[in-house]
Chain A
Amino acid sequence: MNTVVRAGIAGAACMLVFAVVGCGSETVQGSPTPATQAGQPAFDPCLLPDAALVAAGVDPATKDPDFFGVRLQGWNLCAWDADWYFLGVAAMTHSVDDVRANPKNTEIAPAVVGNRDAFTYREVSDTDRKYCDVAFGSSDGTILIMVDTKGSRHAVEDPCVVATRSANALDPYLPQP
């Protein structure tokens, strides 16, 4: 029986290595020139204060910056762990209209974050309805607040509700309109 179990763990570990190698190759390939504006947002979500992150329901110690650790032009991204989901905060140089018009986004619905107009959206490919983002404008580009249900968990509540609530908790610490 132990042999079977050990073989199982080894198999899982091998597949993980395969997955990691596969993901790594994605980040080093060339990427298209960023769209509407050059440069980088000044706002860095990784510098959000711990108090703001706790208010948003995440563990500040779990900070995971950028894309597989690589900062990509036009985007500043940071993500953290919460109980059953991850929370990501991005500042990007694309406009809110770009987000609205992106064919990968669907179910665009109005939302309010502080005193700004925002909208939530899901992704076309998200047939399991595991994630939802909220987007809104700021003086430093577009802000995205992204909620991803963890793969081993079921969503405890609607990810769009969590994203909007988190955005409101973070609003005072984000670049204003």
Chain B
Amino acid sequence: MTTPVFDESTLRSLTALADSGDLRLADDVASACVHACATLIDELEVLQRRSRHISTRDAYGILASAQQLGLKFETKAIGPGGLYDVLQQHIDTVTQLRDLFEKAGRAYREADERAADMIATGTEGP
């Protein structure tokens, strides 16, 4: 099996901080990060689809033995722990990162709106 790109518990902790409003990212920074993640996800998905297609093509050989060989290669490319799975792991991680940035940006906007409301109403903050 492959090693995860990120420690999932770290990502979960960061996401929980963003959920509770303790991790905030300025709106433009968060948007840029979300966009970068989305672009990376798109590219990884294309690689994943291309790897499936090349595996499909490779599975047609002139002899039955070549097809069996194709099946063996496929377990490397598409099977458990293969390239397809590795790409999936990357997609999952970057998707989590994208969600984290979205939440951190939202936390910033909400904090900003609360501050503006307090100023407008003359209420003192905590």
Measured CB to CB, the residues of A under 8 A from B are 1, 4-5, 8-9, 11-13, 15-16, 19-20, 22-23, 26-27, 31-36, 64, 67-68, 72, 75, 77, 79, 86, 88, 90, 92, 94, 98, 102-104, 123-126, 131, 133, 144, 146, 148, 150-152
Total contacts A to B, CB within 8 angstroms? 130
- Could you give 5 example pairs across A and B, Cβ below 8 Å? A5-B25, A23-B47, A34-B62, A86-B49, A152-B95
B53 touches A12 (CB 8 A): no
For residue A144, which residues in chain B have a CB less than 8 angstroms away from its CB? Answer: 56
Q: Which among A19, A35, A67, A125 is the interface contact of B44 at CB below 8 angstroms?
A: A19
In whole angstroms, what is the CA distance A165 to B77 when docked?
Answer: 28
Give how many B residues have a beta carbon under 8 Å from the other chain's beta carbons. 53
Measured CB to CB, the residues of B under 8 A from A are 5-6, 10-11, 14, 23, 25, 33, 36, 40-41, 43-54, 56-62, 66-68, 70-71, 74-75, 77-79, 83, 86-88, 90-95, 97, 100-101
A131 touches B67 (CB 8 A): no
In whole angstroms, what is the CA distance A152 to B10 when docked?
Answer: 20
For residue B36, which residues in chain A have a CB less than 8 angstroms away from its CB? Answer: 9
A11 touches B6 (CB 8 A): yes
A68 touches B54 (CB 8 A): yes
Q: Which among B45, B70, B101 is the interface contact of A151 at CB below 8 angstroms?
A: B45
In whole angstroms, what is the CA distance A151 to B96 when docked?
Answer: 13
For residue B94, which residues in chain A have a CB less than 8 angstroms away from its CB? Answer: 12
Task: State the Cβ distance, B86 to closest chain A Cβ, in Å.
Answer: 7
For residue A151, which residues in chain B have a CB less than 8 angstroms away from its CB? Answer: 41, 44-45, 48, 87-88, 91-92
A92 touches B60 (CB 8 A): yes
B54 touches A146 (CB 8 A): no
Closest to A73 in B: B57
Known: A4-B14, A5-B33. A146 touches B56 (CB 8 A): yes
Closest to A125 in B: B78
For residue A36, which residues in chain B have a CB less than 8 angstroms away from its CB? Answer: 62
In whole angstroms, what is the CA distance A102 to B62 when docked?
Answer: 11
A104 touches B67 (CB 8 A): yes
